[in-house]
Structure 1
Amino acid sequence: MFDWSAQRLLVIAPHPDDEVLGCGGLMHKAKSAGAEVYLQFLTVGDTADISAKGFSTADERVGEIKAVADHFRWDDWHIAFPGDDYHLRLDAVPRFEVANMIERLSPLSVANVEPTVVLAPHRLSYNQDHQAAAEAVHTALRPSDTRLRHHPRLVLAYEEAADQWRNEPTTAPNLLVELDQAAVDAKIAAMRLYGSQFHDHPHTRSELTLQSLSVLRGMQGGVAFAEGYHAMRWLV
């Protein structure tokens, strides 16, 4: 049995809400067990959307982050590349810059936090910022001498329902984290706090989608609920 109480989690989220969609249940489970949880957001800016208002502002979304941070009791959070010059344009930023930020330059870098677990988006997402984030994490956590650079022992790529929108075959998660009803409820409640991003069903960011995916992954592990991950490193 994996001891979440002894872990220090660093979650890399391209945008505010990706962390809830991908690993909201795990964050609740780990924090409830006594783990430390740190959130490194990469970017946020003004965003056109399909809401009645038609857009959400960066200030609005930062306010949502603060509410979600209180909800999950994160130990700290940080935005690496704020503003419209970066938001939805991370693919135009040299990977060297994004990887360096994740590896050692951010206040919540791997070097500073020294996490035991890193969670990051999957590279098969259709979203360009998610792809850039995934590739940068892959570079930042490259194998090297553990005496010289911190190596998280567990590195997981989290999934979002929208990741299935691909023109190439996708593989099922190879690691399942069991959730209880409280963790699923906490995940959905957190998504509701991201009011600018939450949608009615049918939508990839609806309550029914989050509930259904947790039921599907749970069924695959023979339990009621779970989140699915792709293990990139598991050093035991």
Structure 2
Amino acid sequence: MVVAPHPDDESLGCGGLLALLRQAGQPVWCVLVSDGTMSHPNSRAFPPAARQALREQELRDALHILGVEPAALLTLQLPDSQVPLPDSPAGFAAVQQLQQFLSQHQPATLLVPWRRDPHPDHRATSQLVAAALVGLPGAPRRLEYVVWAWERATPAEWPQPQEVVGWQLDIRSVLEQKQRAIAAHRSQLPGSPIHDDPTGFTLAPSMLAHFTAPTEVYLEAPHPQDALHSGLLPYPTHDS
């Protein structure tokens, strides 16, 4: 199960892994946390409801490219750029939705944003997931993926010594599939169909370049017994 703060984070951060899992016949679910409407807040051609519908359809298109079933999507519809923390009423309600979805599907692995990824929605998403896991029996393996830290992280926002184990996944066999999934998020790319907000957001070429690599990076809190049984070693990175 991948938890994406915004439509496109699922493809940018772990599109290769999702494609590989589906190729292997493994079920994949996706949780979309925010409504994605703040990428172009001044558009009149695409008012908030239209922006939300457009971005959700782009997500569905991307998931289809990666092989994920349409019914495997849960949308929390929290406000973009203002995803609440668990201690707020809206955050508490989101935690309950997450707990129900996790209990229903019982994923073996949970893919979440890096806990200190510079975007506030990514940090809030990490906290919502952490709160949802409290008290759940048989907590899934939690892997953290990187999006904005590649461009914006300060030294303090990167992993600290002994905090996590980092490793890389070879996605060469599905890299083209991942690129097509990213391209499905047309509103977030140069030449966006949301054409009437010159201050609107699109992903810069320098940012997109980070996601053309033949590997994806994952961070995982080190638990000695888990690391022993999974074959992970406590080195800064290794190839999987």
Structures share fold, TM-score greater than 0.5: yes
1:78 aligns with 2:78: no
Q: Would the aligned equivalents of 1:98 and 1:133 in 2 still touch at CA under 8 Å?
A: no
User: Given residue 217 of structure 2, which amino acid in structure 1 is its aligned partner?
Assistant: G
Structure 1: segments with no counterpart, 5+ residues = 1-9, 215-224
Quote the offset at 1:23 in angstroms.
Answer: 0.2
Which residue of structure 2 lines up, in the alignment, with residue 229 of structure 1? Answer: 218
Quote the offset at 1:48 in angstroms.
Answer: 3.8
User: Given residue 90 of structure 1, which amino acid in structure 2 is its aligned partner?
Assistant: V
SS for the counterpart of 1:19 is helix
TM-score normalised over the length of structure 2: 0.73
Q: Which residue, out of 51, 75, 85, partners 1:57?
A: 51
Show the 5 A alignment for 1:15-26: 15-26=6-17
Quote the offset at 1:227 in angstroms.
Answer: 0.8
Which residue of structure 1 lines up, in the alignment, with residue 96 of structure 2? Answer: 100
Which residue of structure 1 lines up, in the alignment, with residue 61 of structure 2? Answer: 67
Quote the offset at 1:46 in angstroms.
Answer: 2.4
Quote the offset at 1:166 in angstroms.
Answer: 2.6
- C-alpha distance in 1 between matches for 2:179 and 2:59: 15
SS for the counterpart of 2:77 is coil
Instruction: Report the RMSD for the aligned CA atoms in angstroms.
Output: 2.8
User: Given residue 89 of structure 1, which amino acid in structure 2 is its aligned partner?
Assistant: Q
- C-alpha distance in 2 between matches for 1:87 and 1:41: 11
Q: Which residue, out of 122, 141, 144, partners 1:157?
A: 144
> More strand per residue: 1 or 2?
1
Show the 5 A alignment for 1:121-160: 121-142=113-134, 149-152=137-140, 154-160=141-147
Q: Which residue, out of 89, 109, 134, partners 1:117?
A: 109
SS for the counterpart of 1:37 is coil
- C-alpha distance in 2 between matches for 1:54 and 1:156: 38
For this pair of structures, how many residues does the alignment match? 200
TM-score normalised over the length of structure 1: 0.74
Which structure's relative contact order is higher, taking Cα pairs within 8 Å and 6+ residues apart?
2
User: Given residue 110 of structure 1, which amino acid in structure 2 is its aligned partner?
Assistant: L
User: Given residue 202 of structure 1, which amino acid in structure 2 is its aligned partner?
Assistant: P
Quote the offset at 1:71 in angstroms.
Answer: 1.0
SS for the counterpart of 1:91 is coil
- C-alpha distance in 2 between matches for 1:232 and 1:178: 20
Q: Would the aligned equivalents of 2:118 and 2:148 in 1 still touch at CA under 8 Å?
A: no
Which residue of structure 2 lines up, in the alignment, with residue 193 of structure 1? Answer: 184
In structure 2, relative to structure 1, the CA distance for the partners of 1:233 and 1:80 (3 Å cut) is: farther
Which residue of structure 2 lines up, in the alignment, with residue 222 of structure 1? Answer: none
Q: State the 4+ residue runs in structure 1 displaced beyond 6 angstroms.
A: 50-56
Q: Would the aligned equivalents of 1:28 and 1:72 in 2 still touch at CA under 8 Å?
A: yes
Quote the offset at 1:197 in angstroms.
Answer: 1.2
SS for the counterpart of 2:65 is helix
Q: Would the aligned equivalents of 1:38 and 1:74 in 2 still touch at CA under 8 Å?
A: yes
Which residue of structure 2 lines up, in the alignment, with residue 210 of structure 1? Answer: 211
- C-alpha distance in 1 between matches for 2:127 and 2:113: 9
User: Given residue 205 of structure 2, which amino acid in structure 1 is its aligned partner?
Assistant: P
Quote the offset at 1:26 in angstroms.
Answer: 0.5
Q: Would the aligned equivalents of 2:113 and 2:144 in 1 still touch at CA under 8 Å?
A: yes
In structure 2, relative to structure 1, the CA distance for the partners of 1:132 and 1:161 (3 Å cut) is: closer
Indicate the percent of aligned positions where both proteins have the same amino acid.
22
Quote the offset at 1:70 in angstroms.
Answer: 1.6
Structure 2: segments with no counterpart, 5+ residues = 191-202, 230-240
Quote the offset at 1:173 in angstroms.
Answer: 6.1
Which residue of structure 2 lines up, in the alignment, with residue 219 of structure 1? Answer: none
Q: Would the aligned equivalents of 1:155 and 1:233 in 2 still touch at CA under 8 Å?
A: no
